[in-house]
A = this chain, B = another copy of it.
Amino acid sequence: MKLLDLYAKMKGDLNQIEQELERSVTDDHVLLSEASLHLLKAGGKRIRPIFVLLSGKFGDYRLDVMKRVAVPLELIHMASLVHDDVIDDAQTRRGQLTVKSKWDNRIAMYTGDFIHGKALTIAAQLPNPQIHLILSSALVQMCVGEMEQIRDFFNTEQTIRNYLLRIRRKTALLIAISCQLGAVASNTDRSISNSLYRYGYNVGMAFQIRDDLLDLYGTEKQIGKPPGSDMRQGNITLPVLLALKDPAIRDSLLSEIASIRELGGKRDTGRAIEMIRKSDGGEQADQLANRYVKKALQALEGLPNLTAKKNLIDIAHFVGKRNY
């Protein structure tokens, strides 16, 4: 099944989640509501709610319970985007003005805090305290990931392990717990929620590596912004780290990155991208993404053969496909 067909099939439940998302950030405080709704309406793939819903199918699926899990997870993701945009000084996201650029940094900071608070308020309505613990620990880990990203900006000496730890916290963890919590809230066996966690973690890793590859190998049309924006920001991703291991290009790539750093956004990243593309950094990163996809598929092996399992397999394959 194609991913679009999956969205079509899940449309009813996803629409209800969308309504709940809107309701959740609607507040008497007009500006906070407006800023949050602006962010919400800019869209997004709602991949975290989809993982919650599919994982919930392995247990006692109840949409009202699934909502209270899916909505906080999507909100936590949204809150991290608002705060990211402050850090990255981003003017647009998904073709829309960011909160920090439509309003200002102060409003973006409190909008993020507000969305965090709303997320936890909804989750707090679930009686299972294990869920609250998993969610709040994820918040902490995500912050650590963001700080690691700041620390590692333009650090060309960082190890691959550094990079992997960072994307684990920044991306994979929230996807992992989306899969896990859908199952936990549906009272599945622990072995099932653990398997789904592993699935989500590995899909999340593959997803972020693919996303980082896209920024270097995609066209502006595919990416929605000029290629190389990670590098301009100082975010040194896997293909770059792998390319730097190639002695034939290491020195010239290092000096290109140094001048990008010096000149900030004004420096064209075209030459650096060209060098990386000549190396086999992209190919190696691609292989690593595929290994994560394979591990994600393995994690599903012991699960009962429901349609939801088939859907999760399709998503993993989709994430695994080159999108550039």
A interface residues, Cβ below 8 angstroms from B: 27-29, 31-32, 83, 86-87, 105-107, 109-110, 112-114, 116-118, 120-121, 123-127, 129, 132-133, 135-137, 139-140, 142-144, 146-148, 150-151
A-B interface, 8 closest residue pairs, ranked by CB to CB distance from nearest = A117-B139, A120-B136, A117-B140, A124-B132, A124-B133, A114-B143, A121-B136, A29-B144
With both chains docked as a complex, state the minimum distance between the C-beta of A314 and any C-beta of chain B, in angstroms: 33
With both chains docked as a complex, state the minimum distance between the C-beta of A84 and any C-beta of chain B, in angstroms: 10
A148 touches B117 (CB 8 A): no
Chain B residues contacting A121 (CB-CB under 8 Å) are 133, 136-137, 139-140
With both chains docked as a complex, state the minimum distance between the C-beta of A26 and any C-beta of chain B, in angstroms: 12
With both chains docked as a complex, state the minimum distance between the C-beta of A304 and any C-beta of chain B, in angstroms: 30
CA–CA, A106 and B150, complex, Å? 9
CA–CA, A177 and B137, complex, Å? 23
CA–CA, A267 and B212, complex, Å? 49
CA–CA, A233 and B151, complex, Å? 32
Q: A113-B143, A129-B132 are in contact. List 13 more A-B contacts (CB 8 A).
A: A29-B148, A32-B144, A106-B150, A110-B147, A113-B139, A114-B147, A117-B137, A120-B132, A121-B139, A123-B132, A124-B135, A124-B137, A132-B132
CA–CA, A107 and B151, complex, Å? 10
Chain B residues contacting A125 (CB-CB under 8 Å) are 129, 133
Q: Given that A83-B109, A129-B124 are known contacts, is A31 also in contact with B140, CB under 8 Å in the complex?
A: no
Nearest neighbor of A87 in chain B, beta-carbon distance:
B106
CA–CA, A135 and B119, complex, Å? 12
The listed residue (B110, B124, B127, B146) touching A110 by CB distance below 8 A is B146
Q: Given that A132-B120, A132-B132 are known contacts, is A32 also in contact with B147, CB under 8 Å in the complex?
A: yes
CA–CA, A116 and B147, complex, Å? 15
CA–CA, A230 and B117, complex, Å? 27
B120 touches A29 (CB 8 A): no
CA–CA, A11 and B129, complex, Å? 32
The listed residue (B32, B133, B137, B144) touching A143 by CB distance below 8 A is B32
